Chain A
Amino acid sequence: MWSKKYWRVHTKLTVRKFKKSPHHLMGFIAVIAFSFAALKYTQFNQYKYEYSTFTEWKIYQENNDLESRSPASFDRQLICDENNISVSQIKSEIKTLEKKYETGTYLQGDLYGLNIGKLSSIAAQLIADNKDLIGDSHKQYNFKECLDVPCVLNNIYQDSTELSGHYIYYWYLKTGSMISLNNLIPEQKSTYPGVYDEKVHEYKDYLFTQNELKQFYFLAKSLPEKLTFIPNLKSIHRIPDGSIIETAQGNCSQSLPNGQILLTKACLEKGSQIFNINVTREIAKFVDRQEGLKINESSLSSSQKWLKQSLWFQESYFNNVTNEYQFKWKTDLQPENFIDRKSQSSPLEQISSLIAYYRFDPEKFKDRTPQDIAKWIESEIFHNKSFSPSGLYTQYINEAINSWSTQEVKIWKKCIDAHVQPGKIEQTQRDIASSLDHPLYQCVEKQIPGFVNYVKKEIQDNNFEGCQFFNDETKFGHVATQFDENINRYLLESVLQRKIEIRKHGEEVLIGQKIKDDFIQKIDPNLIYITCYAKNNPETCYHEKMNTQISELLSSNQKVSSYYTEVIKEDILSLFPFDNVKNSANEMAKMFLAPYSARLMQAANKMWDNCKLEGADQNAELALPMTFSGGKHYVNAKLINCVNGSLKNELFKIAELKAFHKVGNDYVDFKLNSDEQKFALSFLQGKLLQTLNSILDKEFFAEKIRLDQFFKVKKIDTLASFSESKEFFTNVFSFEQVENMCFEKISAYYPDNYFYHSKPDMDKKYGREICSTFVRLGDVKKRLTEQVERQWQINKDVAKNLLKTSFSGFVSDCNSDYPIDKNSRSYVKDMRLRKICIEESYNQAISDSIAKWRNHKNYDYFASKEDELVRDFYGLRSELVSSAQ
């Protein structure tokens, strides 16, 4: 089989193929770099390694889990059939994932008898961070018998198959968010758990069904890095059947600003593809925000770049009649260029839909998305990974080639150990180089079928579509066949190329491989990426630093020709493409940081409580600028100033971004340096604000309930005691006066510390409400009406006296101005003139007396009755005028 003719033909084919597909050549070179390193592996000097803490931590995790990662361990059952999932399979997957998160730190506390301190780091984190989401809010549980998280969850689900609890825990381990098991829906109108959409629901109605959880399990396997461990995404809640989302009527899903996703049955029941798209679309809304923050924008979808690219603009309007702001999104993009109807409603819906369809309906995505937009989504969100059949082929073939790159080193080393005597490799080099059938080569070639099986199992295990890819003839038959053919050809060619390399370049190849191996051993590209992360152009920075590192290594080796130096440089760079390194650094950081959110939450709670101990100050001024703004709630200025003051450094000191492992009595520390902390904080930035917002939401809710209860009691006491108090019924002139007297007394009894309501808010909502009720109480109203009426009568009498006094003065003037003498010839005329004078002066007396009445000390109480008084005065006219005449 391995004849010279065979090799000649295949060498020609190889060269031709690589001319057509340069990326295969790169991969090929990568393989050479890795594999040849094995030849001299043990001879190289060991230098001080320059690894990032994340890498060191990951290596440590892997070294402690070598058994489960070796090819031999890949005999476990693969899940191809969605209807045939075993608990043991998920348990095994969970065990592997749990190990990846092990930071060596443990949380204290318990949940209904479950000792959190005995759980793994990540399991403890789940409980500590999400205890409010576990179980019926009205019920007490006993988890004393449980030793792990799935047991707790299955206990709540009462699931004898144990699948439900394992699905939920798996989802958490893969995505960092929690599937809620609680009957309080975020932002629900009722303050009572179990009441939603004005209906009472049973607890079980809030739980996702086992079938839905299974779909979450598969979705978890299929989400790319960008869609997992999003700091702002906290939990997913199911709306009970028969209810609509209170805050989004007509929608089957909604994402909330504080990190929750709400889903109704309508979004979950139409098959796995629709399920995946609906859920991913909501997750993508958090990605939109998170990725926006990274480019100093509020979100990707609201960035000028996206709005221009997608031709969006917003029309706003202020309605002067209702005092309401209105707006709508408009676009110049044609409807056929939108992926679905929902995506036409706003830039946010568009971007989140595109992300969902890119992943779960790549054909539709390709057909309906304008090229520039499609390109952007592909590169910025998916690191250029495609999920169409041909895209999957490319992903898997690259995965196989990369796997070969690492495995080949081991394979060659194993064969060298078997066929070359220790320390005699240089003496036997001629033999090896002169024969294409040397036992060393045969040994390596024999490993190929085993490797192909191993890599296919790895692909099926690590990729959502992996199993289908190799087993679904109808959908993937053509690409699966292509995969088999090409990977086998590639492996044979790579071994052949190795032989040719040895023949042509001899020692230079060995030196080159030493340099490559030196680089692989000593330089951590993740570290280089992290140091470049905060730079203006991370990619340029990364390439510059990589080049510098390679040049430094090359400069110490003078024996390599300039031609071969360039070959080595290219080889090394192709081993670590920027996107791959970025992806792997992000993933490692997310894993490393996953167990920190509970600690962050604890630290933030402690900080908040300390600030509250300093008390509220209604006159404090807000200190600007603020890192944490308080969101949409009013927060007492003194409290928010304190929180912001503590935030600057203190919180992260408390959270301590480090991990450790205990080996015997010693500890292996993994503490982040300054660059790494900056990088890590970029993942926690949104998380911290979300944590504070969650605390504030809970605090606000608690204060609201506390104040409601306080004033409910106060109201009953007040109404009873005030009704008995003479103070409110003596010397009172108006309802408003009594209400104000009541209000003054009530506000003196406000609770000492309230932080999330302003004084005017409290007055309006509680103080005024009680007093307004008080003055309208049946008996109180009756007594007050009598009192007010009595005072009005008294005041009216005062006004009448003023009128009489004023009028009598005018009458005296008239009498003196028009004296009457019965004997006078002008008697009749004088009488008429005096009468006219008196009659006209009555109007004058009214004006005069009203003016004086307005100066009366009680005028304000009766000012509204002025018209009534004037009418009364006119009613007295005939009586007073005739008596004056």
Chain B
Amino acid sequence: MVFSGCARNFNIARIVPGVTTTPMAINYLSEPSYLDKSSFNPRDEILIWDDVTIQANNDVVTAVHRKPANHEVSLQFWRQHYKASTQHFSKVQTGNIGAEHIWQLDLPQHGINVVYDETKDKVIKVIYYYVE
């Protein structure tokens, strides 16, 4: 179990936004449980697995959304770990204004966006994206 979990994480880590193609991603992670055009941007494809979501444009992965590891669930970890880098912290604007308190910590030098739920005090998602 531990081994398969590690292998899975390793395969997720092999997906590099801007480099990995959609067929390569499927090869690493198996067939997705859901595949569709994004309703936010129909030119982007969304591929969903239980533990990871991939965004692709023209068959090239542009962003990888994954759940945080245990040590990554506090926002403090990210704030401290990247304290020497540029950090942009802002509230996520949603259609459901005011009900949920979701924030994002963007680390543009590293191509990382950390999604944080203030009510639960937990990082709920880590996104790796393509940086030119």
Contacts and interface: CB of A to CB of B under 8 A. Distances in A.
Interface of A: 245, 247-251, 254, 256-257, 285, 289, 298-299, 302, 315-320, 323-329, 345-346, 348-349, 621-622, 624-626, 629-632, 634-635, 637, 640, 689, 693, 758-760
A325 B71 contact: no
A622 B104 contact: no
A635 B80 CA distance: 8
30 contacts: A248-B99, A250-B97, A251-B97, A251-B99, A256-B101, A285-B99, A299-B119, A315-B38, A317-B41, A317-B44, A317-B55, A318-B63, A318-B113, A320-B63, A320-B130, A324-B106, A325-B115, A327-B94, A328-B39, A345-B95, A345-B99, A622-B81, A624-B71, A625-B70, A625-B71, A629-B76, A631-B118, A693-B121, A758-B79, A759-B83
Contacts of A630: 74-76
A758 B81 CA distance: 11
B121 A317 contact: no
A641 to B, nearest CB: 11
A323 B103 CA distance: 13
Interface string B100-124: 1111101010000101111111100
Contacts of B89: 632
Contacts of B49: none
Given A632-B118, A758-B83, A318 B96 contact: no
A689 B120 CA distance: 11
DSSP majority for the B interface?
Answer: mixed
Chain A CB within 10 A, most for which of B84, B98, B102, B117:
B98
B80 A622 contact: yes
B99 to A, nearest CB: 5
Given A251-B98, A326-B40, A622-B76, A320 B84 contact: no
Q: Which applies to chain A's interface (DSSP): helix, strand, loop or mixed?
A: loop
Given A324-B104, A622-B80, 9 more contacts: A285-B99, A318-B65, A318-B129, A319-B40, A320-B63, A320-B130, A326-B92, A345-B95, A640-B76
A257 B91 CA distance: 13
Contacts of B81: 622
Interface in B24-63: 38-41, 44, 46, 53, 55, 57, 62-63
A-B complex: 9 closest residue pairs judged by Cβ atoms: A248-B98, A629-B74, A317-B40, A298-B120, A345-B96, A318-B63, A254-B98, A758-B83, A257-B118
Interface centre among B55, B81, B97, B125 (most CB of A within 10 A): B97
Contacts of B129: 318, 320, 323
Interface size class of B (residues with CB under 8 A): 35 or more
A320 B80 contact: no
B76 to A, nearest CB: 5
A749 B57 CA distance: 49
B16 interface: no
Contacts of B95: 328, 345
Contacts of B100: 346, 348
Contacts of B97: 248-251
A327 B100 CA distance: 11
A245 B98 contact: yes
A632 B120 contact: no
A456 B40 CA distance: 59
B70 to A, nearest CB: 7
Contacts of A625: 70-71
B99 A349 contact: yes
A316, A328, A759 interface centre (most CB from chain B within 10 Å): A316
B10 interface: no
B98 A316 contact: no
B102 A327 contact: yes
A318 B112 CA distance: 11
Contact of A626 (B44, B76, B96, B127): B76
A760 B107 CA distance: 14
A316 B65 contact: yes
B20 to A, nearest CB: 15
